[in-house]
Structure 1
Amino acid sequence: MLLRPDDPHHAPSVASKRLPLRKAAVLFIAAVCLCLCGLLYLQLEQSRSHDLRQAQIASSNLTRAMAQQAEDTFMKADLVLTSLVDWIQIDGFGPPQRPRLQKTFARRVQALNQLHGIFLFDQKGQWVVTSFDNMPRGSGVADREYFKFHQQNVSTVAHIGPAIRSRENGEWIIPVSRRVNDKNGQFQGVLMAGIKMSYFDQFFKSFSIDDNGSMFLGLTDGTLLARRPFIESKIGTSLARSEVFEKFLPRAPSGSAMSTSLVDGVVRLFGYRQLEAYPLVVSAASSKDTILAGWYETAFHSCLIVALVMLGVGVFGWVFIRQVRVGERVEADLRKAQEALELIATHDSLTGLGNRRLFERALDIEFGRGARQQSALSLIMIDIDFFKRYNDTYGHVVGDHCLAQVARSVKNCCHRKADLAVRYGGEEFAVLLPDTDIHGAMTIAEHIRRSVMDKNIKHSGSPTGYVTVSLGCYSFVPTGHDSMEVFIQRADAALYQAKHSGRNRSAVLSMEGGVEVLARSDR
């Protein structure tokens, strides 16, 4: 024992004070890397959101322009049909009126670039008058969707039907038609103006979109009328199950949304708008990959830079942690060396007990403690009987072995951590007993004496034939002004009296009324 753990003078070791530097370094490096990743994520997310917002604005502006152009295109055709229907319903379309109607139709088609032609059909769907010089041949148009619509509906508003191929020349057209009634309101036929799909194709091409972008014109029921890029097999197909028609249009007549195209499966940002005057929807879309192409490049470079920085931080941290580990090992070795030196300086190498230096240090501490707590402090001085004869008889090597055995007996009898057993010098030992009165000291002394005897160490130079010890005990309550020398002298006086009284016994020196009283205990 060096110092008692509860000693106020006991200082905590450096290891208990030192911060866990390696753990702190690892946490710091991890925090730096997390901060870098967090900042990178925020920067990239903000940049991505900005690019998408700009694309949404561009898409909204584009669909607004498309909607205006589409509405103007169909409105002009509708106005032509309205004026012609009013004329036909008043004058009729008999043989006398047909040459004039044909010329009027032709002039109107020439005036509007978007028109493929104007056609008048009777109530059976047969051609009556067209804007072309030659009358088409065939079974008529009774099977067309727009003709069936007017035949079954009394409404006189313009009807826009699905895109069809003209039976005049095979060109794709979008039919805009009106019902023709007689003076009594009965169905007399249909007047139809065909809008060239190529007109919308040229219109779509006037806008700059990416190679994977798309533009389309469709009916509100989802029927595709025109599209860029033009895919003939997709004309007339239904987009009703797409997110634009199924999810977004029911909520708002215009807007933008990221969605996967039903036509080609490409993810695009769709801007859409429903026309107010006609049951039509226009949409312009840019592919997500194209919108974020610049962002992807920036993200790659940013991630590469952050990765290199993190690698540098990691390498620096690894080197730093290695240095810390080396420092810790050096510190641990120094601490072990210091403990070894402390042990050497305060303990006897032969017996393993404390030496006089440790004894004097402990005495100083326990004097102060006893004075503060008003508790008894006892000292037992021990001496091996006839030890010079033992050395002379058996030699110093055996004598050292005898000292070690006696020391083990002394140490084994000190059961408390606070008790201190030391080799005081030569064959003399001392046991310091804090918080112990004279009766407790005497009990421990007798226990030590009997323990040594029980080892049965042969000693031909002793009257008993075995190694024995003499013990002197002294106890008092420190006052704070006591002398350590006097304390040791009184215990030593008790030891002297034990030896003078025949050895192999314990003696107690106490102070009663200022008079020394000697007590001894024989075997």
Structure 2
Amino acid sequence: MPTRFLDRYYTPGVAFKRAPLRKAAVLFVATVCLCLCGLLYLQLEQSRRHDLNQAQIASSNLTRAMAQQAEDTFMKADLVLTSLVDWIQVDGFGPALRPRLQKTFARRVLSLEQLHGILLFDQKGQWIVTSFESLPRGPGVADRDYFKFHQQNVTSAAHIGAAIRSRENGEWIIPVSKRINDKNGQFQGVLLAGIKMSYFDQFFKSFSIDDNGSMFMALTDGTLLARRPFVESQIGTSLARNEIFQTLLPQASSGNAMLTSVVDGIVRLFGYRQLEAYPLVVSSASSRDSILAGWYDTAFRSGLIVALVMLGVALFGWVFLRQVRVGERVEADLRKAQEALELIATHDSLTGLANRRLFERALDIEFGRGARQSSALSLIMLDIDYFKRYNDTYGHVVGDHCLAQVARAIKGCCHRKADLAVRYGGEEFAVLLPDTDIHGAMTLAEQIRRSVMDKNISHTGSPTGYVTVSLGCYSFVPTGRDSMEVFIQRADAALYQAKHAGRNRSAVLSMEGHVEALMRSDR
């Protein structure tokens, strides 16, 4: 195998210089530990996201169920009030009708377990008829917000007010009320159905949530109506500054978010939903700690296992480093083997010419040398004419023999030590010529072309009847900012012009990129 090119383009101990083995071992141990930590982080992060995603799904399902239950509860009360208001507005609520109204109210309350009672007030807020057997005593309800609302608004829609204590028995209720008008549309009173807060409390308790979880129902203005856990002092307080009401609800009527509760400061995953039919918002929340309790346990156990593995790797690295000195004894032998591998790696086994790897290294070196010395650098690209036909006619074994013969012809024309003959790929070859201008390149190209012809390699698929080659030449003076790809492309362009002009000839590409000459010397 020729080695004259390696003397110029290969420096043992430089191209394959490596870090000291001890540093490499330390780097390896550190890399393994970092990889283990990275894998642990990815696994735990994926697990955490999965747990949070499952919690979001559960939260969405729970708030959907809460919204449906709340809507059904208020809709039934609304329907009862609507039918009664229609009746009262037609027949009135004179003294003769009041006993009948009382019995009807009582029956309706018994038919709906969520109802605390039904109460009718006149235009001054005084009790007229209730579902209870006796009328409460007192100043009336003219001071209640729901009563004032109906005095000031002519809407016939049901109004849901803030939670209040019943003046009948002190029980917490959520008032659902409707305005009563006379035949002229003038305000005549209010009909109210009280929804037991205990009804929602029992409904909330039917769901399993963690000790720090919470559920609530509020008006759309943020007024808290019901909550689990029930804290009496919080009923009626405003949640308006809660991020659900300030930010999330204006963007979407339902969703999930990890928030810090404004009520107790606990971080929870909140699911929220605004009812379509009524100005109500329901929300359920599970504390972040309860959602991730299993994940925390997994993270601890996984972290412990990874820590033990890392300790084992570190111990192994320590033992390994102690054995490095023994390994250093074979360093010289390894270096020699490395150099031998380099010889194999830089030459084509079939033709004995340099391969593309050595060619690219040589280009890099010669570009730098040419730029420093302002000397011309030339490149000849050539390939065998109609070689596919040759392989199809004679077979690949004979084709390989043909490639070897052409390679010998090329090597026979490269007399200088600096000239580098390369098998560029397939049937294509290259010759790198340092310190050579375009005239010298063209002269050598013609020598190679004639040398191949002189081999008289039979080729029935060629118009000439024997193997010929086409060659493209390009030369320039490197500047230090040149592109190897462009250098090769321009020589290749000259080769293409030679083939396009009829093959079995040499072409020269000028530095401006124009084909300046085509040469052929037919026998």
Regarding TM over 0.5, the answer is: yes
1:98 matched residue in structure 2:
98
CA deviation after TM superposition for structure 1 residue 323, in Å: 3.3
Q: Which letter maps to 1:185?
A: G
CA deviation after TM superposition for structure 1 residue 238, in Å: 0.7
Q: Which letter maps to 1:279?
A: P
Structure 2 residue runs of 5 or longer lacking an equivalent are: 1-6, 333-523
CA deviation after TM superposition for structure 1 residue 311, in Å: 1.1
Structure 1 residues 96, 52: closer, same or farther in 2, change over 3 A? same
2:84 matched residue in structure 1:
84
Structure 1 residues 30, 138: closer, same or farther in 2, change over 3 A? same
Following the alignment from structure 1 to structure 2, what is the Cα–Cα distance between the partners of residues 292 and 13? 56
Following the alignment from structure 1 to structure 2, what is the Cα–Cα distance between the partners of residues 64 and 21? 64
Q: Which letter maps to 1:111?
A: S
Following the alignment from structure 1 to structure 2, what is the Cα–Cα distance between the partners of residues 231 and 149? 27
2:410 matched residue in structure 1:
none
Given that residues 22 and 325 in structure 1 are in contact (C-alpha distance below 8 angstroms), is that contact kept between their aligned partners in structure 2? no
CA deviation after TM superposition for structure 1 residue 13, in Å: 9.1
1:142 matched residue in structure 2:
142
1:57 matched residue in structure 2:
57
Q: Which letter maps to 1:107?
A: R
CA deviation after TM superposition for structure 1 residue 327, in Å: 6.7
1:157 matched residue in structure 2:
157
Following the alignment from structure 1 to structure 2, what is the Cα–Cα distance between the partners of residues 13 and 165? 92
Following the alignment from structure 2 to structure 1, what is the Cα–Cα distance between the partners of residues 215 and 137? 35
- Trace 1:123-522 onto structure 2 (pairs within 5 A): 123-324=123-324
Following the alignment from structure 2 to structure 1, what is the Cα–Cα distance between the partners of residues 18 and 176? 88
CA deviation after TM superposition for structure 1 residue 17, in Å: 6.2
CA deviation after TM superposition for structure 1 residue 212, in Å: 1.0
Structure 1 residues 236, 321: closer, same or farther in 2, change over 3 A? same
Structure 1 residues 140, 327: closer, same or farther in 2, change over 3 A? same
Given that residues 51 and 292 in structure 1 are in contact (C-alpha distance below 8 angstroms), is that contact kept between their aligned partners in structure 2? yes
Mean CA deviation greater in 315-324 or 128-137? 315-324
Structure 1 residues 309, 162: closer, same or farther in 2, change over 3 A? same
Structure 1, residues 488-509: CA drift from partner, whole Å, max 9, x if none? xxxxxxxxxxxxxxxxxxxxxx
Q: How many pairs align?
A: 323
Following the alignment from structure 1 to structure 2, what is the Cα–Cα distance between the partners of residues 221 and 43? 42
Following the alignment from structure 1 to structure 2, what is the Cα–Cα distance between the partners of residues 187 and 13? 103
Q: Which letter maps to 2:286?
A: S
Structure 1, residues 201-254: CA drift from partner, whole Å, max 9, x if none? 000111111111111111111111000110111101111111111111111101
Structure 1, residues 463-512: CA drift from partner, whole Å, max 9, x if none? xxxxxxxxxxxxxxxxxxxxxxxxxxxxxxxxxxxxxxxxxxxxxxxxxx
Does residue 74 in structure 1 map to residue 80 in structure 2?
Answer: no
TM-score by length of 1: 0.59
Following the alignment from structure 1 to structure 2, what is the Cα–Cα distance between the partners of residues 312 and 148? 77
CA deviation after TM superposition for structure 1 residue 314, in Å: 1.2
CA deviation after TM superposition for structure 1 residue 326, in Å: 7.9
Following the alignment from structure 2 to structure 1, what is the Cα–Cα distance between the partners of residues 194 and 119? 8
Q: Report the 3-state secondary structure (helix = DSSP H, G, I; strand = E; otherwise coil) of the residue aligned with 2:117.
A: strand
Following the alignment from structure 1 to structure 2, what is the Cα–Cα distance between the partners of residues 282 and 240? 14
Larger Rg over CA atoms? 1
Structure 1, residues 396-439: CA drift from partner, whole Å, max 9, x if none? xxxxxxxxxxxxxxxxxxxxxxxxxxxxxxxxxxxxxxxxxxxx
Q: Report the 3-state secondary structure (helix = DSSP H, G, I; strand = E; otherwise coil) of the residue aligned with 2:250.
A: coil
Following the alignment from structure 1 to structure 2, what is the Cα–Cα distance between the partners of residues 117 and 52? 42
CA deviation after TM superposition for structure 1 residue 257, in Å: 0.8
Following the alignment from structure 1 to structure 2, what is the Cα–Cα distance between the partners of residues 255 and 88? 42
Following the alignment from structure 1 to structure 2, what is the Cα–Cα distance between the partners of residues 94 and 261? 50
Structure 1 residues 261, 110: closer, same or farther in 2, change over 3 A? same
CA deviation after TM superposition for structure 1 residue 12, in Å: 8.0
Following the alignment from structure 2 to structure 1, what is the Cα–Cα distance between the partners of residues 165 and 24? 77
Q: Which letter maps to 1:230?
A: F
TM-score by length of 2: 0.59
Q: Report the 3-state secondary structure (helix = DSSP H, G, I; strand = E; otherwise coil) of the residue aligned with 1:185.
A: coil
Structure 1 residues 254, 13: closer, same or farther in 2, change over 3 A? closer
Structure 1 residues 17, 259: closer, same or farther in 2, change over 3 A? closer
Q: Report the 3-state secondary structure (helix = DSSP H, G, I; strand = E; otherwise coil) of the residue aligned with 1:230.
A: coil
Q: Report the 3-state secondary structure (helix = DSSP H, G, I; strand = E; otherwise coil) of the residue aligned with 1:218.
A: strand
Q: Which letter maps to 1:306?
A: V
Following the alignment from structure 1 to structure 2, what is the Cα–Cα distance between the partners of residues 208 and 17? 66
Structure 1 residues 99, 17: closer, same or farther in 2, change over 3 A? closer
Q: Which letter maps to 1:300?
A: F
**Identity over the aligned pairs, expressed in percent?**
84
Following the alignment from structure 2 to structure 1, what is the Cα–Cα distance between the partners of residues 267 and 55? 14
Q: Report the 3-state secondary structure (helix = DSSP H, G, I; strand = E; otherwise coil) of the residue aligned with 1:215.
A: strand
Following the alignment from structure 2 to structure 1, what is the Cα–Cα distance between the partners of residues 18 and 167? 95
Following the alignment from structure 2 to structure 1, what is the Cα–Cα distance between the partners of residues 17 and 114? 89
1:33 matched residue in structure 2:
33
Q: Which letter maps to 2:43?
A: Q
Q: Report the 3-state secondary structure (helix = DSSP H, G, I; strand = E; otherwise coil) of the residue aligned with 1:250.
A: helix
